[in-house]
Chain A
Amino acid sequence: MDIRAHVSMVFHLDKCIGCHTCSIACKNIWTDRKGTEYMWWNNVETKPGTGYPTLWEDQDKYKGGWERGKNEKIHLRLHNRLGGLTNLFYNPYLPTIDDYYEPWTYDYENLFNAPEGDDQPTARAISMITGKPMDNIEAGPNWDDDLGGSPLYARNDVNLDELSEGEREQLNEIERVVFFYLPRICNHCLNPGCVAACPAGAIYKRGEDGIVLISQEKCRAWRMCISGCPYKKTYYNWASGKSEKCILCYPRLESGQPPACFHSCVGRIRYLGVLLYDADKIVNCASVPEQDLVAAQRDLIQDPFDPQVIQSARANGVPDAMITAAQNSPVYKFVKKWQIALPLHPDFRTVPMLYYVPPMLPVLAKMENGNYDIAGLDKENLPAMLSSLEKARMPIKYMASMFSAGNVKIVEEVYRKLIAVRIFKRAQKVKDYQPAEVEAALAQGKTNAEEVEAIFRLTSLPTYEERFVVPPLGREISIEALERPLDRKQATGFGIRSQTPKREF
């Protein structure tokens, strides 16, 4: 047992309204510099859709993440050692700027400065690459937003590949439109492909909290991380010649605040907390067969109340405050205790530490006699919610392809529990379910009244402090392993750097 702490995340997809506030908060803080125009460390995609960059989930093309070989061991999909060497100066699997999008701004000045004329002045789109006007914008980071680009984009979603014709038909049942939102940031994986692919050893995972960072001093622009990360969450800054990625706002975390995208989230879908995990199990967790991946990942996460776990964590130098934070962690509850949050694409085998509660509404809404019906009775006079999973409008297979490496059973269990919460609370407030039905729902969801209440509270009525349990990170203590914090005391004034950092652009 080798217990360590990880600052982890849960996104509750039923609550995301697709407003992109999170993306803007991130952009304004971190990626409004030269060279970062096209980057969205936080982006929100519409699903089904092809996302950003286009088809990032298609690893036949981008070669991201890990693959389980015949010897049951995993290896990078990108290359082996020899291949890495021969591709060192030319990585053949990089997305082009067109696969992200050509970033643009608008000529706002024209609204003020245009000479007097017969027409209203307009603000034309200006490319942030060429500086020239763009008359036809062809793609953007959320191009298939609300299925806007559906006929061309959404139908190419790789998660639809496994669906039969009939199942695809279900997608079109209501107004030919079904979708949900998928906000994405770096998953701060336990077995990160980006770290493994970097030939310069510039990417590292912080010991005390698991945040994955790219050293701007060591990065040599080989850009292997961009291919190595299956989520395409490292980006190359063309102006500085270094790669960059989500830093989980560690400067904010270190001062006790949640990351900006978490803080600003309008739907309050985001939860942040500590998980204690057993590092001895990472290799196994990343190498098990597809259908066992989620179970292995749950098994990796340890009970923060177990005295043995606490002891091992202490022995590893995990501060008590961190352990307390793990005990209060909303992430622990969603992922391990209630088992309703799932990793995104565990099949990439990077063991992502960002978990998603799958969305219910697009799954259950049905068309009945020309009316939308999300809770009515079905033909056998059973509450539709209980029987409709099989005929779900957003096929369960689709969800399984995203959240459980194709294991339908796991996704079903999650939904059964979520449905139980729904029916239980509805019976309480609206009183249109009979006690027997509620009992049946709880049984099917393998849950009980107490757990359902807890899930309900943390889903619908959580306070700021319940959503974000930011541990004291103690960076000042952690760096003692590498440098002596008191070295520069009484020497250089503010800060611990030997030189004043220079802003270059």
Chain B
Amino acid sequence: MVENVKPPSIPRYFLFLLTLTGILIFIASTFSVVAAMGPAQAADGATVFKEKCVGCHTIGGGKLVGPDLAGVTERRTKEWLTKWISAPDQMLAAGDPTATELFNTYNKIAMPNLQLTPDQVAAVIAYMGSGETTTASSAVALPPGDANAGRAYFVGDLHFANGGPHCMSCHSISGVGSLGGGNLGPDLTINGYSKYGAGLPAFLASPATVTMNAVWKNTPLTPQEQADLFAFLQEASVSQRAPDTLLLIAGLAILGAAALIGLAQLRWSRRLKGVRKPMIERTLAAKKR
């Protein structure tokens, strides 16, 4: 027996399907790479704070998603602040006790790495120590929100006035949309209202994470849109559901693969499955008879 040249036990079109899937995944992933950040700006503490921090923090205006930063320059050393603001993810990963404690206190929402330059970090620390105060960006009372409009914005039936992308291109909420939403951002069923709570409007007004910030800096949501989205995300049907996206996707993938394989079987049911071996087997069998 020539063991080495077994005809491949996996049908050859499998490889083709595999390649096709690979290509599709590749295309999908290319699309989700988000536009590069804007150019570094002159380090002006107030501007940096307004752009990057107000989504989660106030100075003297009370806690939002993250702590009120009034007096933070006295609470922490400058060195710690610098390290923290520069790379909070690394500090958390390194298990810094203060960082861990903050993480736990604030609903396990990690402060994102804002990719600030050392200049910007220094400037924002100086600004926080300068005695200026800020209020939550949503403190300008939001108009009453309409959950249905919020849903329409989420799925893209309504377009944002400033041209921002609809939420579903990056986020999913279980039960919304037959194919679910995007997977680039977190699933908002568990990472939306139930996690951010009342801090959510501020976040919507000025999203802090690097990816969100890059997208929304130039296309901010109007107060009405913020209110509508908040109302939608707040709805019990959204905020209190268990996520099922993963299962849904897995299920769809399996179904899809099965359908493709079935189709391939049908198309290539009469494919050539080797000539020499079957011929030899046939002849040997005929001889035995």
Contact = CB atoms under 8 A, between A and B. Distances in A.
A155 B276 CA distance: 13
B44 to A, nearest CB: 56
B276 A99 contact: yes
A89 B16 contact: yes
A50 B270 CA distance: 22
Interface in A128-160: 129-130, 132, 134, 136-139, 151-152, 155-156
Interface in B242-289: 264, 267-268, 270-272, 274-277, 279-280, 283-284, 287
Nearest to B268: A92
Interface stretch (B5-13, B80-88, B223-231): B5-13
Interface string B1-30: 110110100001100100010000000000
Given A86-B267, A90-B12, A90-B13, A99 B274 contact: yes
Interface stretch (A53-61, A204-212, A357-365, A423-431): A53-61
Nearest to A83: B267
Given A93-B271, A156-B283, A102 B4 contact: yes
Given A98-B276, A152-B284, A137 B268 contact: no
A97 B275 CA distance: 10
Contacts of A89: 16, 20
Contact of A93 (B1, B7, B272): B272
Given A86-B267, A152-B283, A156-B283, A138 B2 contact: yes
B264 to A, nearest CB: 8
B274 A96 contact: yes
A80 to B, nearest CB: 14
Interface in B96-126: none
Contacts of B5: 96-98, 102, 129
Contacts of B267: 86
A61 B272 contact: yes
A156 B270 CA distance: 21
A127 B13 CA distance: 26
A103 to B, nearest CB: 10
A95 interface: yes
B243 to A, nearest CB: 37
B272 A55 contact: no
A332 interface: no
A14 to B, nearest CB: 30
A50 to B, nearest CB: 7
A155 B283 contact: yes
A94 interface: yes
Contact of A98 (B7, B16, B264, B268): B7
B289 to A, nearest CB: 15
B275 A99 contact: yes
Contacts of A54: 275-276, 279
Contacts of A235: none
A62 interface: yes
A89 B277 CA distance: 25
A148 to B, nearest CB: 14
A92 B272 contact: yes
Interface residues of A, number: 32
Given A98-B5, A137-B2, A152-B284, A55 B275 contact: yes
A157 to B, nearest CB: 11
B281 to A, nearest CB: 10
Given A90-B268, A93-B271, A155-B283, A127 B276 contact: no
Contact of B275 (A95, A102, A138): A95
Nearest to A86: B267
A156 B279 contact: yes
A62 B264 CA distance: 19
A154 B16 CA distance: 36
Contacts of A94: 272
Interface string B62-74: 0000000000000
B48 to A, nearest CB: 52
A62 B272 contact: yes
A130 B272 contact: no
A139 B2 CA distance: 9
A93 B264 CA distance: 15
A95 B277 CA distance: 12
Contacts of B268: 90, 92
A129 B1 CA distance: 16
B273 to A, nearest CB: 8
Contacts of A98: 2, 5, 7, 274, 276-277
A225 to B, nearest CB: 16
B4 A92 contact: no
Contacts of A55: 275-276, 279
Contacts of B287: 151
A54 B281 CA distance: 14
B129 to A, nearest CB: 64
Contacts of B271: 92-93
Contacts of B264: 90
A95 B7 CA distance: 11
B169 to A, nearest CB: 30
Contacts of A50: 276, 279
A95 B1 contact: no
Nearest to B15: A90
B10 to A, nearest CB: 13
Given A90-B12, A93-B272, A136 B279 contact: no
Nearest to B287: A151
Given A53-B275, A95-B275, A152 B280 contact: yes
A127 B4 contact: yes
Please name the 9 residue pairs, one residue from A and one from B, whose CB atoms are nearest each other, closest first: A92-B271, A54-B276, A138-B2, A102-B5, A99-B275, A90-B13, A92-B268, A130-B4, A98-B5
Given A90-B16, A102-B5, A136-B1, 4 more contacts: A50-B276, A89-B16, A96-B272, A152-B280
17 contacts: A53-B276, A54-B275, A55-B275, A55-B279, A61-B275, A89-B16, A90-B264, A93-B271, A93-B272, A94-B272, A96-B272, A98-B274, A129-B4, A130-B4, A139-B276, A152-B283, A152-B284
Interface of B: 1-2, 4-5, 7, 12-13, 16, 20, 264, 267-268, 270-272, 274-277, 279-280, 283-284, 287
